Structure 1
Amino acid sequence: MNKPIRTLSRSLIGALIVFCIFISCRQPNWRDKPAHQRDSIEHKNKRTLAREVIRNWNTWSTRHVDRRRNNFEVGFMELQRKRQSLLREECQRQKLGNIDDDFDVMKLEPKVKLLYSDKHRFILCEIPKCASSSMKKVLLTTEKLVNTTNPREVKSELAHRLADAKLDLRRLRNATGIAERLRNYKRLIIVRDPVYRLLSAYRNKLEKEYPWSRDFADMSRKIHSNVSAEGRGTKLATFAEFLKYAAMDRDRDRHWKLYYDLCLPCTIRYDFIAHVETINNDMTEFMKMLRMENMSFPSNYAASEQTDIEKLEKYMASVPLGTIEDIYNSYRNDFEMFGFSRP
């Protein structure tokens, strides 16, 4: 009695699997659709669509730079070797340059902003919205340029103003001194998923008219006027409008300029590559190696104010899929050189 039932069950299950495969094969790929159709997929709720689009970003910890490793507890130096190896491979594959320890310092472009610590002998390439405020607080504290030993007590406004005035390598105005530090100091770069960085820049600079950045409010209105069907007006740009603008912009502001342009990672060899997504672990190990004792890496924002997956999901709900594809194509170098997953 049981044998015919088992046989029938297997047959039904097999038929169901074949049906599911048949249905999935018939589903059209949104990338194959014309742009105007991609941007108006009506059979899905936007909120649900946003969750699907960012699902890859939410699982970055197993697939971004370290997607080849099986255990997150891999040693810090092994992790660094993997990140550097990936960067080297992508620079060569895309023919963007050759990483060199002895590059010509006179070719160091003005847009490359390097901050230095003589006490601990390291250099940081500053990338806005990638823990730059926190790093400046650490630098000012270790160099004893502020009256505290706790970087958390340093105000962000003071950190930017003082570090830019005292620790910018370009201000040495001495090619020999710059070259010596670049040759002998450890070099650090901190990056993050480009889409999270774009959202952080938008929330901090363009979403509202903040007293400390009225120039960015004017820029936000200009972005809205340029990409909106409404034309000129007084409205600030939406996140979707900002992404559309960022994908087209060729003279980007530093807060959303590509890592490739800001830090020349295919020219300058960076000894340490940190990620905002793993910043506490990365910087703990980095500071330990440089013997920066009795100091913890400060967070610049309270947990509730940080740009996290929930906020990304909320903002992405209004972004057309075509715009997301354009952002990836525009920031492809940053995604691929540092191993962040394609959206």
Structure 2
Amino acid sequence: MQRRRTVLERGCREGGHGGSALTFDLTQLLLSNPRMLSNLIVDDRHKVLYCYVPKVACTNWKRMMLMLTGRTNYTDPLSIPSDSVHRKNVFLKLSDLEPHDIHMRLHTYTKFLFVRHPIERVLSAFRNKFEKNYTSSAYFKKRFGVKIMKNYRIGVDPSQVPVSGHGVKFSEFIAYLIDTKTDQFNEHWALMSSMCHPCSVRYNYIGKYETLAEDSEHILRQVGAPPTLHFPPVVPSKTASFVEPYFDTLSQQQQQALINLYEDDFRIFDYHFRTFI
């Protein structure tokens, strides 16, 4: 954990594409746009802040936060319906509070987040939202898939694109990401650093998807969770084995552009990308 914080702090000092430092004043952040802190869930009982990142075990961690905050009567986290933890107003968010209350919690509460290899996370979002046939996938296919295929499917009349939005190719999705401003990304593929602001918020613990089980257990014990409360058994993800085949479907220009998009996440969370190109 100490090494992860050290790497993060160095990455923040080194800055982004232009070389300017990524760190900015926390007070200014609060005054300019408190909604930037809407991914931080508040647990006043244990004095904890958890910044959730979609596609990084956030469903199970939201289940844990429901149990920690006492907002559920379930005793088994896996019994909590997965869709229920993603509904609006289920949690108290840091952005719901007044500036002085936000400031106090940011400076006194234990703060943690979980991160994942940026390319693996993007692929996980793509497979989940565009290739699968989950109930939630239908929204993403219609909301984003139709537009993506109309704009990026070569040699096809836009009128022939299925209204369901089904059939988006990974290369088309990446072309869409490359042409879209990162501050307009949906949270499932937004930069982890842009949702949790780790260069302004000093996190006590940076958990990683690659070491999810041990990191989760460590954090639960550190924040004073009941000794009977444990993170659900971790099912190994198959996504990592698909990264290279999917990445290889991209042109070299797309590969480099995709890596550049997530450069800040690569650097501050100590992930590496040069093996892909």
Same fold at TM > 0.5: yes
Q: Is the 8 A contact 1:130 1:192 kept in 2?
A: yes
CA distance in 1, matches of 2:113, 2:78: 21
Partner of 1:48: none
CA deviation digits over 1:316-340, x for unaligned, max 9? 3423333211111111111111110
Q: Give the C-alpha shift of residue 274 in structure 1.
A: 0.8
Q: Aligned in 2, Cα 1:264/1:96: closer, same or farther, shift over 3 Å?
A: farther
Q: Is the 8 A contact 1:126 1:132 kept in 2?
A: yes
Q: Do structure 1's residue 168 and structure 2's residue 93 form an aligned pair?
A: yes
Q: Give the C-alpha shift of residue 200 in structure 1.
A: 1.0
Partner of 1:294: 228
Q: Give the C-alpha shift of residue 242 in structure 1.
A: 1.1
Q: Aligned in 2, Cα 1:209/1:152: closer, same or farther, shift over 3 Å?
A: closer
Q: Is the 8 A contact 2:247 2:255 kept in 1?
A: no
TM-score (norm 2): 0.85
Q: Do structure 1's residue 341 and structure 2's residue 272 form an aligned pair?
A: yes
Larger radius of gyration: 1
Partner of 2:126: 202
CA distance in 2, matches of 1:183, 1:228: 49
Identity fraction in percent:
27
> Unaligned regions of 5+ residues in structure 1, if any?
1-79
Q: Do structure 1's residue 132 and structure 2's residue 63 form an aligned pair?
A: no
Partner of 2:141: 217
Counterpart code for 2:70: K
Q: Give the C-alpha shift of residue 92 in structure 1.
A: 1.0
CA deviation digits over 1:115-174, x for unaligned, max 9? 011122110112111121111100101122111122122111111226x433222233x2
CA distance in 2, matches of 1:118, 1:106: 23
CA distance in 1, matches of 2:218, 2:33: 29
CA distance in 2, matches of 1:321, 1:188: 36
Q: Give the C-alpha shift of residue 298 in structure 1.
A: 2.2
Q: 2:106 aligns with which of 172, 179, 182?
A: 182
Q: Give the C-alpha shift of residue 256 in structure 1.
A: 0.6
Q: 1:249 aligns with which of 167, 173, 180?
A: 180
- Secondary structure of the corresponding residue to residue 124 of structure 1: strand
Q: Do structure 1's residue 226 and structure 2's residue 151 form an aligned pair?
A: yes
Q: Is the 8 A contact 1:199 1:312 kept in 2?
A: yes
Counterpart code for 1:93: E
Q: Is the 8 A contact 1:103 1:268 kept in 2?
A: no
CA distance in 2, matches of 1:340, 1:104: 26
CA deviation digits over 1:271-303, x for unaligned, max 9? 111111111111111111122121221258x54
> Unaligned regions of 5+ residues in structure 2, if any?
none
User: How many positions carry a matched residue from both structures?
Assistant: 259
Q: Is the 8 A contact 1:207 1:220 kept in 2?
A: no
Q: Give the C-alpha shift of residue 211 in structure 1.
A: 2.8
Partner of 2:197: 264
Counterpart code for 1:190: F
Q: Give the C-alpha shift of residue 105 in structure 1.
A: 2.9
CA deviation digits over 1:39-69, x for unaligned, max 9? xxxxxxxxxxxxxxxxxxxxxxxxxxxxxxx
CA distance in 2, matches of 1:285, 1:81: 14
Partner of 2:11: 90
